[in-house]
Amino acid sequence: MAFLWLLLLKGVSTFFLGVFVWVIVQHLLTVEIPPALKHPAKLRVLHCMFLYVLTLGNILEKLRICTMPRFLRFFQNIFPIRKNPNVLVTDIRLGTVPVRLFKPKKVSSNYRRDTYHGLCSFLAHETDSLVLLVGYRKLPDYHHPVLVNDCLNATIYFLKNLESFGVDSSQVVLCGDSIGGWAVATITQILNSIPNLPQIQTQVLICPILNFISFQLPSHQQSKNVPFLTRDILLKWTCKYLAIDISWRHAMSAGAVIPLDKWKKYRKWLSYDNVPRRFWSQDTQPKVLGPFNEAAYLETKQVWSVEISSLLADDRIIAQLPKTFLVSCEHDILRDDSLLYKKRLEDQGIPVSWCHVEDGFHACINFFDKQPFSFPCSMKIVNAVVSYIKDV
């Protein structure tokens, strides 16, 4: 029996080692680390760890042991939460939606703002704000529009009960990073059509995804293999979230799901021509749309909904949006979504503040307090967001 246990242990160890070696080889063959990024060795180590977890999750999913999204959540829950002694954290519900409330312990006679952000504890302390983090339902059990609906319902409930939270109705801030930035942009557009609600003072969009249609923008060419959001990962997660069969991702990437009539209508907002030329590298070339695939279009046509691709909102809706703070990173595949939205907002007279981080990459903000894995760009973004909110 002891021999069998040793044999099993050796087999399992060999398996995990083999996967790790495969991940390193894949990383070295496919991943690009732009020379402008600081601490490239640190980024390589983190990305290899990230790929290792993704690969194990995919293996477990194929073996029908556990879905990959659920495995990722399990892995994330292994690490303990760092507590801030200056912030009081409480789990509550706004209606049926679970939220986590972050409140500075320091007593203040002033009303506090409200922000939504993954770095809630830090923001609550640094900006003296009451912060709510929405516990929206996630993959693999829930798909679009559950995320938006949960965040929208929590936001409406909160806006209707600001007084009970001690929040000044003129100082409400919605904030989100990555897909959270997409949720904020979508919700802010929807709130304009709901009467008798306090107005949002400002929206803070950090590296948001605002377009699920054009995957051929300059940043999609330049940063398609840059950690942590490669084009392959972006397309796979887009398909998972929108419940699109993953086999259509290649047609989406090539632009074969875009009908000519729709492109003529929306290219004024989606075209690479709207991205300033200084963001085009020497090898960036305008991409021609792939041959139209009607079957692929019919399977993916939900991406043309305004509730999914915020960039498609009518000028009338854009003109009613609050002032906006946009954060973009140079080496982020989603960089150009921010640039296109910035132009749309400015064309409609919306005040826009913009922070562009030259050495930044997608998700770098998540490492701001993860020593020794923090990056200079992480603190640049955090400090910029804190400074902006404090000035609201």
Determine which one of 27, 114, 362, 378 is catalytic: 362
- Phi/psi at 356 (5° precision): -110, 125
- Residue 387, amino acid: S
Which of the residues 332, 336, 337, 378 is marked catalytic?
332
Contact 267, 340 (CB under 8 A): no
Catalytic residue among 178, 214, 253, 309: 178
332 a catalytic residue: yes
Separation of alpha carbons 331 and 359, rounded Å? 7
- Are 338 and 332 spatial neighbours (Cβ–Cβ below 8 Å)? no
Which tokens hold the place of 144? 């679009």
What is the edge-to-edge ordering of all strands in the sheet holding 87-94?
87-94, 97-104, 130-134, 112-115, 167-177, 202-206, 323-331, 352-361
Instruction: Compute the distance between CA of residue 294 and CA of residue 291 in angstroms, rounded to an integer.
Output: 10
Neighbours of 221 (CB within 10 A): 20
CB 145 within 8 A of CB 125: no
| CA within 13 Å, CB half, 347 | 15
Cα–Cα distance between 278 and 227 in angstroms, integer?
Answer: 22
Catalytic residues: 178, 332, 362
